[in-house]
Structures are given as structure tokens and as C-alpha cells.
Amino acid sequence: MKNHQIDLCGAEGGGRSPDMPILKKGMTFSFQCAGCGGCCRGREDIVLSGYDLYRLSRHLNLPPKLTARAFCRIYIGAVSHLPVLRLAPVKEEHNNCPFLIDNRCAVHDARPLVCALYPLGQEISPTGEVCYYFQSTQCGGQVYRATLADYLTEQEVAEREPLDVRWAQCCMQLEQEASTWENTFHPVVLRRFQSKLCDALYYRYDLSRPWLVQLEENLIWLAREKSRLTEMQQNIYQKK
């Protein structure tokens, strides 16, 4: 795993800009869509949450780690210091999304949150407050109009919002600790702990069981693993 310019919240220095207005639930917005798949081309910034990977894995009937190895890249974010999982574009297809087939999404029913939201973006605060904002597009085609509430319901974003909030809060809490790990752990032990992080956040899931229950179990397991590695490090390196 290595550092990369795309972190958990997208490109470094990214986020909502002043020209992206926040929408309220009753507000109506509009955009054009030609259904051409253009928003799936040349993309290297589609970051997945643990829940996104879980949904994709269930759709593909593959273990999460195998899904990630086949369609994603994972590395440690330069800012968050946490594992970042993003879709790996297909270089032979001009860096298109690996699931773009004949201008259509092959995993539409299990598409990642960022894809379901587009052209909206989402911000979640540490206290769990959620806001949505509009990103202007250069697309043509049919004009689509909807209220924010209707759009979130139609795209099945409202249904999953509590899970996305918990994921964001989990990552924000871990990020508060993460900057100290390089000073806490010996490099060898740090790499092992980062592997445990990947398991807890992305891979250690039984697809027949609810995701959120397992995330909470994984966080408890991760805390135990951290204690175990800390004790192991003390036993090994204090004796030298």
C-alpha cells in the first residue's frame, strides 16, 4: 500500500467549493443527462466505503477481498493515514470505470454512493449532520428536475444514509488517532496494524449478515488487535 493523491474524502484539498450550493430537503434542482456514460469515463477518484464494497460483493457474489483485488486499488491515504479503497480505472479503456459496459453501469443496483448521488455531493459532520450540495455538470440531454428529498429516495440514498453516517463517523474517529500511529508503532508492526485496519473496515464481512452489525464488531476486534500488537511490540523491541 502506498500514499496517493486521492484520500477518503476525494482529492486532497477537495470538498465542496463556494459555487456548490447546499440544498435543503424541499428544494428543487435540475440537471441534464444524455445517458451517455460520460461521468464514468476518465475517473480515478471513485472512493468506496466499506458499505459500498459490501454491496458490490453481494451483487457479484464474491468475497469482499476478492472484489477489491479484482476491481479496486487500496493504499494508505497521505492525509487521513487510513486505508483508502477506490475503483481502479481500466487503462486500456481510457481510464473508464471497470463496471462501464456498453455505456451502462453493470452494477447499477449496487453502485457506490458517489455514483448514486451524482450530480450531488454529500458532507457529514462528526456529530452526524448530513448535507447535500449540487455540482454543476456540462452534460446535455434530457432535463431532470426533482426535490432533494425525492431524488435521495429515488436513488436509494435516503435508505442507506444512517449507514453512511456511521461509516463517516468511524473514519473521522480513527483519523484522530491515525496521525500518531507512525510514532507509536515500529514500521513492521505498523504495516501489520494497517493490514488489520483493512480487514476491519473493508474485508472482514460475512455477506449473509447485516453490514453495520459487523462493522461494530470489527471495531471491537480492531481495538483488541491494536492492544495485542502494542504488547507484542513492547515484548520484542524493549528486549533489544
Q: Give yes or no for a contact between 118 and 39, defined as CB atoms under 8 angstroms apart.
A: yes
Q: In the predicted model, is pLDDT for residue 12 greater than 70? A: no
Sorted by sequence, the CB contacts under 8 Å of residue 177 that are 6+ apart come out as: none
What pLDDT band is residue 92 in, cutting at 50, 70 and 90? confident
Band of pLDDT at residue 152, cut at 50, 70 and 90:
very high
pLDDT at 4 over 60: no
The amino acid at residue 119 is P
- Residue 235: predicted pLDDT: 86
Instruction: Classify burial at 118, counting beta carbons within 10 Å of its beta carbon; exposed 0-12, middle 13-18, buried 19 or more.
Output: middle
- d(CA 231, CA 223) in angstroms, rounded, equals 12
- Read off the C-alpha cell for 146: 426533482
pLDDT-above-90 percentage for the chain: 66
Phi, psi dihedrals of residue 210, rounded to the nearest 5°:
-60, 140
| Confidence grade of residue 95 (pLDDT, cut at 50, 70, 90) | confident
At residue 43 the predicted structure's pLDDT band, cuts being 50, 70 and 90, is: confident
**Residue matched to cell numbers 430537503:** 25
- 8 Å CB contact between 76 and 3: yes
pLDDT exceeds 90 at position 227:
yes
DSSP state of 203: I
